[in-house]
Amino acid sequence: MRNTSDFTTLAITSILPVDLNIFILKMELDIVSMAQIVGDNKTAESFLKAAQARKAAIDSVFWNEENGQWLDYWISNGTSSQECQRWKASNQNNNTFASNFVPIWIDLFNSDTCIVEKVRKSFQSSGLLGAAGIATSLTRSGEQWDFPNGWAPLQHMIVEGLGKSGSHEAKSMAQDIAMRWINTNYVAYKETGAMHEKYNVEKCGDIGGGGEYIPQTGFGWSNGVVLAFLEEFGWPADLKIGCNGVML
């Protein structure tokens, strides 16, 4: 939305999103890998070409050197998405979102030491990391996609990207985020008997809220991300689990 408090300003077709393009890039690269395994060289070459073009576009359209983040890009008002565009720095959305850091999930980015260090420093000063994980944004709109809600997939992609890098500092940050997320999931589970779709990253053990429906329990990606974090990092024997150092 151009106005985050007004649903009538929805402008989905007027913005190029960082995260969606990263998901498509990951799919293109996965198709290349699978096609090579089965010997389908024509498909592999086609999707490799597409992935290379998308990577170049992500670098040129989304990357902001000053911010150390990838920023969503607004297509100018009144311009068709099929028309040629001249890139303008002013069209980058300078609001801070967790999705600005999703590209670090991809090996093409997390293998670049210089990029990793810039992204790590940017994330560290972004204000997104709370006591219980990464907030989706810094905007308090009351909607489920905004502060203080944290969602499991965003935690997973950022942690996995930082963890796969060659930076000791980035790996340490990844583990710290994972511990915060495991802890809040555990505390909430002990208190409510359920895993939840989202969590309030401001407060340990507090479930998320907002949105257009009753928050759901279950919950597939929350379960999966906690299991992935435990498999990757375990739980340090010298680290208490619980809120404010209180064992549960």
* 246 three-class SS: coil
* 90 three-class SS: helix
| pLDDT tens, position by position, 155-208 | 999 999 999 999 999 999 999 999 999 999 999 999 999 999 999 999 999 999
Distance CA 4, CA 236 (A): 41
Distance CA 119, CA 20 (A): 19
* Nearest in space to 156 (alpha carbons), one of 171, 168, 174: 174
At position 220, the amino acid (one-letter code) is G
Q: pTM of the full predicted structure?
A: 0.93
Contacting residues for 203 by C-beta, under 8 A, at least 6 apart: 131, 132, 148
> Which residues in the chain come in under a pLDDT of 70?
77-82, 245-248
Radius of gyration (Cα) for the chain, nearest Å? 19
Q: What is the pLDDT of residue 84?
A: 76
